[in-house]
């Protein structure tokens, strides 16, 4: 057997071996290498459906890995500089939730910025943890939430000395990084763990000149979306842990909610992507950075748009910036980000990652080529020429300090009533309201509803943001706690 | 020896030409480039395995993409040519002494180098003093141009591969912006015949219709292109391709052509019923 090195891809190799054995399947999945579902086979290809197999001795078992999956996890841990790596098939949502469930139980406090992904709040609904929000400062011109300043984290730690952990976005969707090294130090001094949501930071582990990765900064756990900048299949992800965390316990936590039929398409895609990043990630991300820098220069030359970068860095709430993120402020063109997002798709057949009130984000990755960048830049130039207008009447996103009236879990499971949205001001919300993407809640269960929040929701709806979360899909009504608190 | 060049014109249709010998084979940053000698069509150029031009029938394409707009617009001074690395369009344009300046934007320098060396019959005017060659993406070049050309000729490859950006709404919109108030844009418009080409043709037409007030299509018969029936787009801010055709003025120039005549000009805009239908489908929304 070849020694274990980053050139290897143990799960992929085992699948190749398995194919050669021509094993007769009397197990699941029932499509039996695609024969039972010819239409699906035509769509996905024979090679693909033949790899959609079940856990078995030669292919190991995701719930209790002892052979090839374990080797793949060891290689991933080595590549990412972690003590242990878990291959995840339920998206980074499941990795984030496993992090929270592993560190907090009912009544425990977690310090975190308010601009976290919905999966964090979802985990708190499940386990009953209580959020302690650190106000992420807001950039006035851009209207985007920033990182947590170290001083604000320190203050939160002093006020909540029994908190179990601090969660950091590394980076935010827009590419903003907090000073994660200092936050790790502050946390560890008080015996707290530091968790990182690295859904948008896979490349930090491989690229050069990029912000520090959570594991390199000494964080205890990190949820890493391999399927975003890493190139693996949608829904595949990694959960990384540091030396202070018991890998066996984390495995038990993961197994509470993760499927027992882990997809080998997802697992092999993680394995192959890890190999690719370990061997070629440095050059690949250098190209992405070059493309992003070029795109920013060209977009800023159009006029009106502001494609921002490292010049934002202020040593604190913008401690670092991820230059692979192509975030562009659109307000001076007279259009909300969401309007530009819709125009690019409807008029120019260009799908970008998201648009909010004042910004758009185009996701660049290892699959991009200069010719597509030219299309994006040209389309933005045309959007300005054809649709640009006066900027008056545009609303910026502003940080609304949330009042957490009850814990997310209590709010979610309490007696509630449904009210027309405009009659809910002053009441405590029992459900999530968010724009998707980016999927950061505007309201989370347990938070008090204010007039400003309702104005914001109404404006976002009017501009065409896709709103999700509430039981009423039209978001004309909201569920609130029956008790007036 | 049985030595053939074959191109899949559709997944189920193959077009073959007997080869005498291969003169060049190379891979540029953008595409594979081949040059062959053939007994029937003479020398020909293929990009990524697709026939681009042959010595025998290139005159049809180059005359039709150039002289049609030149016979309509009364004063063409500044011309932008996108693609056209083989030099055929430039050869035709430089026959007009009153053209002041031509910008040619070709993404692939190797195509120009290879054509200069192996296809001197088309690449014969690339040293004209009125010509500036820019090696860059056409979409990028045109972004910063505003109100500065009388004529834009889009001599693109197919709408897949490096030429894809030249079939987009953003490109046509930028062309509109780059043209003067009476400017004309002419483009290589694919074939309406085989179903996949027809879709590309229809999409391109839709995007041009959305970008220009006047948008017509004309045809030519080009034996080595898929189906032999080929279209060109005539998009314009002011001039109508038939009502503003000045036959006397053009004929007084005394240019000698092998395909184009002002009589054929008029006939070329009368297209088959099924093509009219195909195009009308996407015009109705506007």
| A400 found inside a domain | no
In Å, how far are A229, A362, A380, A383, B76 from A328, measured between CA atoms? 19, 8, 10, 14, 39
* pLDDT score for A1: 62
Q: Is the CB of A381 less than 8 angstroms away from the CB of B140?
A: no
Mean pLDDT of A210-227: 98
Comparing A80-84, A309-313, A387-391, B130-134, the range with the smallest average pLDDT is A387-391
Residue among A381, A374, A376 nearest A363 (CA): A376
Confidence of residue A394 (pLDDT cuts 50, 70, 90): confident
pLDDT surpasses 90 at B185? yes
> How far apart, in whole angstroms, are the C-alpha atoms of residue B154 and residue B244?
21
B142 SS3 class: helix
Q: Is the domain of A181 the same as that of A298?
A: no
* pLDDT score for A305: 97
Q: Is the domain of A215 the same as that of A336?
A: no
What percent of chain A clears pLDDT 70, i.e. is strictly above it? 98
B156's enclosing H/E stretch is: none
Helix axes A370-387 and A264-302, enclosed angle (nearest 10):
50
> How far apart, in whole angstroms, are the C-alpha atoms of residue B109 and residue B23?
18
Q: Is the domain of A157 the same as that of A295?
A: no
Active-site hit among B57, B155, B158, B197: B155
Chain B residues with CB under 8 Å of A374 CB are 137, 139-140, 165
* pLDDT score for A357: 87
pLDDT surpasses 70 at B112? yes
Q: Is the domain of A375 the same as that of A439?
A: no
- What digits encode the pLDDT tens for the residues A70-116? 999 999 999 999 999 999 999 999 999 999 999 999 999 999 998 89
> How far apart, in whole angstroms, are the C-alpha atoms of residue A107 and residue A125?
11
Kindly state whether B135 is in contact with chain A, defined as any CB-CB distance less than 8 angstroms. no
| A309 found inside a domain | yes
What CATH number should be reported for the domain holding residue A432? 3.90.105.10
Chain B residues with CB under 8 Å of A302 CB are 143
Q: Is the domain of A26 the same as that of A91?
A: yes
Structure letter (DSSP) for residue A429: B
Confidence of residue A294 (pLDDT cuts 50, 70, 90): very high
List beta partners, residue A375.
Answer: none
CB atoms within 10 A of CB A148: 30
- What digits encode the pLDDT tens for the residues A300-335? 999 999 999 999 999 999 999 999 999 999 999 999
Distance from CA of A375 to the nearest CA of B (A): 6
Q: Which of B142, B144, B168 sits opposite A348 (nearest CB)?
A: B168
Q: Is the domain of A285 the same as that of A274?
A: no
| A1 found inside a domain | no
Q: Is the domain of A233 the same as that of A298?
A: no
| A177 found inside a domain | yes
| A393 found inside a domain | no
Instruction: Provide the domain count of chain A.
Output: 3
Distance from CA of B168 to the nearest CA of A (A): 7
Confidence of residue B41 (pLDDT cuts 50, 70, 90): very high
* pLDDT score for B286: 52
* pLDDT score for A398: 67
Q: Is the domain of A224 the same as that of A302?
A: no
| A70 found inside a domain | yes
Q: Is the domain of A40 the same as that of A78?
A: yes
Examine the residue annotation and report whether B256 is marked as an active-site residue of this protein. no
What percent of chain B clears pLDDT 70, i.e. is strictly above it? 99
In Å, how far are A116, A341, A443, A473, B261 from A469, measured between CA atoms? 15, 21, 9, 8, 66
pLDDT surpasses 80 at A468? yes
Nearest CA in chain A to B161: A371
- What digits encode the pLDDT tens for the residues A149-178? 999 999 999 999 999 999 999 999 999 999
Confidence of residue A437 (pLDDT cuts 50, 70, 90): low
> How far apart, in whole angstroms, are the C-alpha atoms of residue A7 and residue A9?
7
* pLDDT score for B283: 87
> How far apart, in whole angstroms, are the C-alpha atoms of residue B188 and residue B258?
19
- What digits encode the pLDDT tens for the residues A59-75? 999 999 999 999 999 99
Contact yes or no for A275/A9 (Cβ under 8 A): yes
| Domain termination residue (choose one: A223, A250, A278) | A278
B9's enclosing H/E stretch is: strand B4-10
Chain A residues with CB under 8 Å of B174 CB are 378, 381-382
Signed CA dihedral, A197, A361, A473, A112: sign only: positive
Kindly state whether B165 is in contact with chain A, defined as any CB-CB distance less than 8 angstroms. yes
What CATH number should be reported for the domain holding residue A290? 3.90.1150.10
Comparing A132-141, B69-78, B168-177, B234-243, the range with the smallest average pLDDT is A132-141
A456 SS3 class: helix
In Å, how far are A431, A478, A479 from A482, measured between CA atoms? 13, 12, 9
Confidence of residue A138 (pLDDT cuts 50, 70, 90): confident
Chain B residues with CB under 8 Å of A348 CB are 168-170
Q: Is the domain of A169 the same as that of A206?
A: yes
| A149 found inside a domain | yes
Q: Is the domain of A235 the same as that of A191?
A: yes
B18's enclosing H/E stretch is: strand B13-18
SS (H, E, C) A292-308: HHHHHHHHHHHCCCEEC
B149-155, strands of its sheet edge to edge: B131-134, B101-105, B78-83, B149-155, B179-188, B229-236, B214-221
Nearest CA in chain A to B143: A378
Confidence of residue A401 (pLDDT cuts 50, 70, 90): confident
Residue among A413, A424, A205 nearest A322 (CA): A205
* pLDDT score for A435: 77
Q: What does pTM read for this prediction?
A: 0.91
Q: Is the CB of B169 less than 8 angstroms away from the CB of A386?
A: no
In Å, how far are B68, B149, B153, B232 from B80, measured between CA atoms? 16, 7, 6, 17
Chain A residues with CB under 8 Å of B173 CB are 378, 382, 385-386
Q: Is the CB of B173 less than 8 angstroms away from the CB of A298?
A: no
Kindly state whether B168 is in contact with chain A, defined as any CB-CB distance less than 8 angstroms. yes
Structural domain including A459 reads 408-481
Distance from CA of A48 to the nearest CA of B (A): 23
What CATH number should be reported for the domain holding residue A186? 3.40.640.10
Nearest CA in chain B to A379: B170
| Domain termination residue (choose one: A250, A278, A306) | A278
Mean pLDDT of B166-192: 96
The chain-wide mean pLDDT, for chain B, equals 95
Q: Is the domain of A249 the same as that of A309?
A: no
Complete domains list, chain B, with CATH:
4-53 (2.30.140.10), 58-283 (3.40.50.150)
| A374 found inside a domain | yes
| Domain termination residue (choose one: A254, A278, A302) | A278
* Distance of alpha carbon B76 from the chain centroid: 18
> How far apart, in whole angstroms, are the C-alpha atoms of residue B125 and residue A401?
69
Distance from CA of B108 to the nearest CA of A (A): 13
> How far apart, in whole angstroms, are the C-alpha atoms of residue A277 and residue A270?
10
């Amino acid at each position: 057997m070849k020694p274990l090195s980053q050139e290897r891809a143990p799960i992929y190799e085992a699948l190749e071996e398995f194919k050669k054995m021509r094993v007769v399947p009397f197990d699941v999945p029932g499509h039996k290498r695609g024969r039972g579902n010819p239409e699906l086979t035509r769509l996905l290809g024979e090679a693909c459906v033949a790899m959609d197999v079940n856990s078995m001795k030669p292919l190991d078992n995701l719930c209790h890995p002892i052979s090839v999956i374990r080797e793949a996890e060891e290689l991933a841990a080595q590549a990412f500089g972690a003590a242990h790596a878990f291959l995840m098939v339920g998206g980074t949502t499941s990795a984030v939730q496993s992090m929270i469930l592993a560190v907090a139980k009912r009544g425990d406090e977690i310090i975190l910025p308010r601009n976290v992904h919905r999966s964090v709040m979802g985990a708190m609904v499940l386990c009953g943890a209580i959020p302690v929000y650190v106000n992420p400062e807001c950039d006035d011109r851009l209207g985007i939430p920033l990182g947590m300043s170290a001083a604000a984290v320190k203050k939160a730690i002093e006020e909540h000395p029994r908190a179990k952990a601090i969660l950091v976005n590394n980076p935010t969707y827009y590419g903003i990084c907090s000073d994660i090294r200092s936050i790790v130090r502050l946390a560890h001094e008080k015996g707290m763990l530091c968790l990182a949501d690295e859904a948008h930071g896979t490349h930090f582990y491989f690229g050069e000149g990029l912000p520090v990765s959570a594991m390199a900064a000494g964080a205890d756990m990190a949820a890493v979306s391999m399927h975003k900048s890493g190139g693996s299949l949608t829904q595949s992800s990694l959960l990384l842990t540091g030396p202070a965390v018991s890998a066996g316990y984390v495995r038990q936590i993961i197994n509470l909610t993760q499927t027992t039929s882990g997809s080998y398409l997802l697992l092999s895609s993680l394995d192959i992507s890890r190999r690719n990043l370990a061997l070629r990630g440095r050059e690949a991300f250098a190209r992405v950075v070059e493309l992003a820098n070029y795109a920013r220069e060209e977009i800023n030359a159009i006029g009106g748009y502001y494609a921002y970068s490292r010049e934002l860095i202020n040593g604190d709430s913008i401690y670092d910036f991820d230059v692979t993120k192509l975030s562009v402020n659109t307000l001076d063109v007279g259009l909300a980000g969401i309007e530009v997002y819709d125009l690019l798709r409807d008029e120019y057949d260009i799908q970008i990652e998201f648009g909010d009130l004042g910004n758009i984000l185009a996701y660049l990755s290892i699959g991009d080529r200069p010719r597509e960048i030219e299309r994006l830049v040209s389309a933005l130039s045309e959007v300005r020429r054809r649709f640009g207008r006066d900027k008056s009447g545009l609303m910026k996103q502003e940080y609304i300090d949330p009042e957490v009236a009850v814990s997310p879990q209590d709010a979610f499971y309490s007696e509630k009533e449904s009210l027309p949205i405009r009659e809910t001001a002053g009441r405590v919300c029992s459900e999530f309201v968010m724009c998707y993407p980016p999927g950061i809640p505007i309201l989370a269960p347990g938070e008090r509803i204010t007039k400003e929040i309702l104005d914001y929701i109404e404006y976002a709806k009017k501009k065409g943001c896709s709103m999700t979360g509430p039981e009423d899909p039209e978001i004309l009504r909201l569920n609130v706690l029956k008790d007036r608190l | 020896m049985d030595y053939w060049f074959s191109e899949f014109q559709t997944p189920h249709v193959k077009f073959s030409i007997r080869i005498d010998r291969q003169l060049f084979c190379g891979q540029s940053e953008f595409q594979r480039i081949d040059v062959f000698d053939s007994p029937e069509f003479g020398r020909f150029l293929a990009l990524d395995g697709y026939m681009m031009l042959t010595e025998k029938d290139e005159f049809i394409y180059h005359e039709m993409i150039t002289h049609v707009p030149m016979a309509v617009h009364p004063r063409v001074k500044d011309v932008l040519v996108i693609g056209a690395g083989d030099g055929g369009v430039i050869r035709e344009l430089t026959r007009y002494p009153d053209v002041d300046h031509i910008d040619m934007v070709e993404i692939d320098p190797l195509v120009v180098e290879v054509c200069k060396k192996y296809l001197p019959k088309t690449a014969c005017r690339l040293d004209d003093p009125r010509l500036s060659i820019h090696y860059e993406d056409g979409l990028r070049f045109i972004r910063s141009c505003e109100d500065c050309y009388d004529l834009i000729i889009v001599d693109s490859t197919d709408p897949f591969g490096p030429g894809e950006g030249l079939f987009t709404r953003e490109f046509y919109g930028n062309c509109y912006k780059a043209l003067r108030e009476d400017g004309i844009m002419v483009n290589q418009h694919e074939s309406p015949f085989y179903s996949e080409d027809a879709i590309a043709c229809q999409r391109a037409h839709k995007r041009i219709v959305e970008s220009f007030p006047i948008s017509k299509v004309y045809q030519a018969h080009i034996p080595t292109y898929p189906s032999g029936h080929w279209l060109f787009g005539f998009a314009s801010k002011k001039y109508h391709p038939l009502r503003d055709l000045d036959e006397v003025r053009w004929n007084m120039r005394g240019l000698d052509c092998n395909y184009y005549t002002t009589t054929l000009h008029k006939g070329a805009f009368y297209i088959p019923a099924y093509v009219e239908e195909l195009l009308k489908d996407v015009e109705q929304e506007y």
